[in-house]
Structures are given as structure tokens and as C-alpha cells.
Amino acid sequence: MKVVRLIAFFAVFALVGAACGDDDTDTTAPTGGGEIEVVWIRGADHPEGIAFLEVLAQFTAETGIQVNYQGLGDDLPTILSTRVQGGDPPDVAVLAQPGLLKDLVARGAAKPVSQTVIDGMAANFAPVWSDLATVDGTLYGVYFKAGNKSLVFYDVQVFDDLAITPPTTWDEWIAVSQTLADNGYTALAVAGADGWTLSDWFENVYVRTAGQEKYVQLTNHEIPWTDQSVVDALAVMAELVANPDFVLGGRDGALQTNFVASITAVFATADAVVVEGPGDIAGIAKEEAGAEVGTDLDFFPFPSIDGSPPAVLGGGDVAVALTDNPGAMALLEFLTTPAAVETWAAAGGFTSPNQNLDLSLYPDELSRAVAEGLVNAEVFVFDLSDLVPSAFGGTAGAGIWGGLQNWLQNPDNVAAVLAQIEAEAEAAMAE
């Protein structure tokens, strides 16, 4: 794993600012020094990791607090659990799963936020974001990054050349995929090597085939994973995701394709035409392939299935303090401010739920539309795999992620796959 250290190159300037500050200010944020360790899934060479390092560099510049950053990838839940168990947690962990936050609270590892963080969240975010970071009435974190995971991106030139209209229904999407195949194109790049992408596919299909009530029931394990509604959703999902005529490399190829590779397959190498995923695909496509929104890529919402109403599957990343190091809470306080993410928003490939971030900073209409929908939403469907215990919903090769990879390898073995997922769900919920 990579460790990146951000030097407090404005430490002297920060010290002067601290000396001139008001003694009774309502903040725990220190200035002029200190050091914290921050972990997240993204490596320092990943486009999102690079962008987050810029955020941390700005934090260092404003506070003088140095940051040691580690990108742990999909192994973050396992590594974090081991370090917490060993009494050596990082100062701040950025988590993609509310279920993992609940795990940390249950273990006494997460620290309640300061009053300044509470005030910052109330001033800058819709209540839903505080609710998602609250356990038993106590706020533990800051959701500074969010995502709409119900977006489908496509190569504009290919659609224009074939006079394809973006589909609004599942049946239309299948028809579009067939048109692409008939004209010598591979319709879809699927990032099956990353289990979370398959989970997003399933959740988008499930909420549209089973409905929101069943979605909540499955999330809470009030119905088993062997329920007929799950079987039916996978049968629908297979029509696209498991169809070797539509998917780059077939099922085996999909299982060897990671998230970034699925994007470059569409917008860099033109091996496929369509890729489904969160809004940050646009930023990654620009970073990796120079693709511009409107000219090279565009998107359509995940289509309706059998007349299902519009639905948005959302996700987010929450920063949580795991030690009493004052710098840890200082970072959370910083992340409640619009200024913390202005540069990242302007660079693209990022959406903030901060209501006071100037939408004009986003680099294109797509980014602005995604952000506006999120910040104005009081309620939206949160990623199911992020809401369940992390051992079941957020661990590479296990639980939902591993089960769906097993399903993609052999879609005809759905009964055995769902029985295994259900057994892991029962074990996780019992802990």
C-alpha cells in the first residue's frame, strides 16, 4: 500500500494566524502543527486519490497539520478492523459503508463529533446526511462526498452514428444493445472484478423490479436473500450483464475488468460503448482518456423496468475520527465547509452533498445536474451493500460482492449462490 505524507508547507503562516485568533472561538481545530493519519479506499495514484490528496494539502496549508495518507483499496474494512482490534487505529478513516460506521461505533472505536461539526453539518447539508452518520442519536462523521449510482454513460459518437436514442426502459436498453451488437460493437463494459459494481447493478435492478418496500426489507434482512424477488431480479439483470453477446470479454472478461478499466474500455480504447456506474465516471473518463461531456460522452438515467417509477441509488463517503488526536476532529470540521471541496468539484468526477457549494463550480452540465439532484434530495435510496455490516456488504470476495461474482461466473447456479449469500447474511446479522 502507498503512504503519502503531506508536508505543512504553510506551517509558519498558520502559526501566525493562530497567534492572532480569538481565544474563545468555538472550534477544536488546532493550527500550527500536529500530524494525523488518514485512510481511504483510493490509492495515491488513483484519480480520486489524487484529488483527495489536494483536499488534504489544502487542510495542511490552512492548519499546519501534516497528513499521512494511505489508500487501502477494497481491503480497508479488514485492515481497519485489525488495526482497531490491535489498538492502533488511524486518526481518521473515510468509509464508503454506513454499516462499517455502525460496526466501529459498536466497538467503541468511533469518536462523536465536536459541536463545530454538528453546526457545520446543520448549516451546509440536508438532514439526511447527518442522519446517515448518526448512531443511537449521536453524530459520528461527515459525508463530504456523495454519488448518484443510477447513471449509464455512453460513447456519443457511436450513438450518433447509429442514430440511437438513449433508452428509457429496460426493454429499450436491451434493444439498443442488440443494435450495437448487430453493427459490430460490443455494447457494454462490466467491471465484475470489483464486487461493488455488481452490487450496484443488482441494487438498481432490484429496486425497480421488487420496489422500495422490498428493498428496505432485504436491507434489514426481513426477507431472505433466497426470496423469489431476488431470483427474479437476477434473471432480469442477466439479460444484460450476463449476456456474452453484449458484454466485453463475456462473463470471464467482465470478471477480469476493474472499475477504471471498464471506463477506459469505452472512452479510451473504444472496445465497448456503454458503462453503468456513479457520476464520477465522467471525471475518470476525462482524466484517463480526455473524454469531454457532451462531445465524447453523455449519460441517461438507469431505465425503468416494467413501468417502475424513477429511482436513484445513492452512495457516499463519510469521514470518521477514530482517535482523540485534535487534528482528527479538525479535519472533520474542515470537511463540513464548502471551501474544502471547491477544487475537487471544479476538477470534475466528484459530487458534494454540501448545499452551499456553488453549483457553478462544477465543470459541466452533467456534474451540475447530478449535484443539484443530490443536494436537494431529502430522501433517496442508499446503497444496500453499504447499509449492512461491512463483513457482508463491503468485503472483497465475500458476502454480496463475492456472491454476485460467483453468480456472474455461473448464472445458472443462482439457487446455490443465493443460499451462500443468505448464510453469510445470517452470520453477519447475528454478530
Per-residue pLDDT in tens (0 to 9) along the chain, 431 residues:
444 544 333 332 233 333 333 333 333 444 557 999 999 999 988 888 999 999 999 999 999 999 999 999 988 999 999 999 999 999 999 998 888 898 999 999 999 999 999 999 999 998 888 988 999 999 999 999 998 899 999 999 999 999 999 999 999 999 999 999 999 999 999 999 999 999 999 999 999 999 989 998 999 999 999 999 999 999 999 999 999 999 999 999 999 999 999 999 999 999 999 999 988 898 899 889 999 988 999 999 899 999 998 888 988 899 999 999 999 999 999 999 999 999 999 988 789 999 999 999 998 888 888 888 777 755 577 899 988 888 899 889 999 999 999 999 999 999 999 999 999 999 998 87
Domains in the chain, number: 2
107 and 160 in a single domain? The answer is no
pLDDT at position 166, please? Answer: 97
Residues 179 and 258 in one domain: yes
What pTM was estimated for this model as a whole? 0.71
198 and 285 part of one domain: yes
Give the per-residue pLDDT at 98.
82
Closest listed residue to residue 315, CA positions, set 191, 200, 221: 200
**Beta carbons of 294 and 288 less than 8 angstroms apart:** no
CB hemisphere CA count around 339 (13 angstroms): 9
Q: Which residues contact 124 (CB under 8 A, 6 or more apart)?
A: 336, 337, 338, 354, 355, 356
Domain that holds residue 290: 151-311+388-430
Tell me, what's the pLDDT at 14?
A: 32
pLDDT of residue 170: 98
Three-state secondary structure call for residue 309? coil
Query: Which positions ≥6 away from 263 have C-beta within 8 Å?
Result: 153, 189, 275, 277, 281, 284, 285, 288, 289
Q: Are residues 283 and 172 part of one domain? A: yes
132 and 276 co-located in one domain: no
Given the DSSP bridges, would you call strands 138-139 and 134-135 parallel, antiparallel or unpaired? Answer: antiparallel
What does the pLDDT read at residue 4? 52
Q: How far is it, in rounded angstroms, from Cα 195 to Cα 395?
A: 9
Looking at the fold, whether 276 and 397 belong to one and the same domain comes out as: yes
- Name the 3-class secondary structure at 77: helix
Q: Is residue 259 domain-shared with residue 407, that is, in the same domain?
A: yes
> Are residues 289 and 354 located together in one domain of the fold?
no
Rg (CA), the chain: 22
β-strands 151-155, 141-148: how paired? unpaired
- Tell me the CB-side half-sphere exposure of residue 315, using CA atoms within 13 A: 25
Q: Under 8 Å CB-to-CB from 140, ≥6 apart: which residues? A: 101, 104, 105, 110, 111, 112, 113, 133, 134, 320
Same domain, 416 and 276: yes
